[in-house]
């Protein structure tokens, strides 16, 4: 029998999900309590304008496992998720959406996969219950782009139902729309990433926050992901490789002007310009090395987090 972790946290980010949060909390408790392991449920309210926060706060007195974090305004899912990661105390951290489309009954399977040696377990909504044009098509395009660029063989990067060992995410500093790339961002740590099929339900209350524009956001984020996962370990080397074509172009045009006797100002200017681009790439790499060496976390206090319930 697979050994379950000593403790785990379930982190859920929510924004205007007043009709979903309490049924979701009940489902998580029903799935987690029979496991007989210490656990907590951390809801992060991302500046909801409906009754989401009030309903969660009202549930705190009767649920010792529940912690509610309130962000001062709507920062976005990535920053809300980072706040949840910062607060979570469990050995394993499970994330899921707050719209009841993820099924809490999949929690034990995620923990079992972690117990078998995985560092990250990603859910795969193989039978998605979403509309084709606004959800399935953008997701299909985005997932294939991500797999092609990152070479991480996960079918469903957008599935929020995932499990992580604490040590592979506690060093992350999420920003922009990086919440969908958390599994990819664990690559530099050497994390073993597995995938399991999970259940998926149609949304019955509230409104979806995603659409076709998601594909264009993914395109913009993929370059950043490559910089973080590929260039981060040695930016000077990668920028030197990036500048190599400009170096050889400068060398070739310089030799052309020197040995052929061509009296062409344009060739000389091109040689100098290409050389300057190469030098700029080198300095960019050195600058990147300096940034990585001195980088630090952004204080969580900037998010204006307030907390109810839970235990230290």
* Span 46-80, pLDDT tens digits: 999 999 999 999 999 999 999 999 999 998 888 99
The structure tokens listed for 75 are 């920062």
Q: For residue 211, report the phi and psi dihedrals to the nearest 5 degrees.
A: -165, -165
Cα–Cα dist 15/76, whole Å:
9
Domain ranges of the chain: 8-129+154-207, 235-294
302 φ, ψ (degrees, to nearest 5): -65, -20
Alpha carbons 95 and 113: distance in angstroms, whole number: 15
182/5 Cα distance (integer angstroms): 21
| CA neighbours closer than 13 Å in the CB half-sphere of residue 202 | 5
Q: Give the model's pLDDT for residue 80.
A: 92
pLDDT in tens, 165-206: 998 888 777 766 677 778 777 876 778 889 999 988 877 775
Closest CA to 297 of 200, 195, 185, 171: 171
The rounded percent of the chain whose pLDDT value lies above 70 is: 72
Q: How many residues does the chain have?
A: 312
The per-residue pLDDT for range 111-157, each reduced to its tens digit, is 999 999 999 999 888 776 655 555 566 666 666 776 766 667 777 77
Question: pTM, whole model, 2 decimals?
Answer: 0.71
Quote the strand ranges of 59-177, DSSP E. Answer: 66-70, 92-97, 120-124, 162-165
Query: Would residue 246 be called left, alpha or beta, if left means φ above 0 and alpha means ψ between -120 and 50 degrees?
Result: alpha
pLDDT for 295 equals 55
CATH architecture designation of domain 8-129+154-207: Alpha-Beta Complex (3.90)
């Amino acid at each position: 029998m697979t050994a379950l972790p000593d403790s785990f946290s379930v982190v859920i980010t929510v924004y205007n999900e007043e009709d979903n949060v309490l049924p979701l909390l009940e489902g998580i408790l029903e799935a987690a309590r029979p496991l007989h392991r210490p656990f907590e449920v951390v809801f992060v309210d991302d500046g909801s304008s409906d009754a989401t926060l009030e309903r969660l706060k009202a549930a705190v007195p009767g649920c010792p496992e529940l912690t509610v974090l309130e962000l001062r305004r709507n920062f976005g899912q990535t920053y809300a998720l980072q706040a949840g990661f910062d607060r979570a105390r469990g050995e394993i951290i499970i994330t899921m959406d707050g719209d009841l489309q993820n099924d809490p009954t999949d929690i034990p399977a995620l923990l079992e996969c972690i117990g078998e040696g995985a560092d990250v377990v990603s859910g795969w909504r193989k039978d998605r219950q979403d509309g084709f044009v606004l959800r399935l098509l953008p997701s299909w395009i985005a997932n294939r782009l991500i797999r092609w660029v990152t070479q991480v063989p996960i079918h469903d990067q957008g599935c929020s139902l995932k499990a992580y060992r604490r040590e592979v995410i506690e060093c992350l500093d999420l920003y922009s729309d990086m919440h969908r790339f958390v599994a990819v961002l664990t690559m530099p740590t050497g994390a073993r990433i597995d995938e399991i099929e999970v259940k998926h339900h149609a949304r019955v209350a509230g409104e979806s926050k995603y659409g076709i524009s998601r594909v264009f956001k993914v395109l913009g984020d993929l370059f950043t992901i490559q910089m973080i996962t590929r260039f981060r370990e040695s930016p000077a080397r990668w920028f030197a490789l990036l500048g190599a074509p400009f170096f050889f172009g400068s060398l070739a045009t310089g030799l052309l002007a020197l040995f052929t006797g061509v009296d062409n100002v344009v060739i000389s200017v091109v040689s100098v310009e290409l050389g300057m681009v190469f030098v700029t790439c080198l300095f960019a790499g050195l600058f990147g090395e300096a940034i990585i060496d001195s980088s630090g976390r952004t204080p969580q206090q900037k998010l204006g987090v307030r907390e109810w319930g839970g235990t230290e």
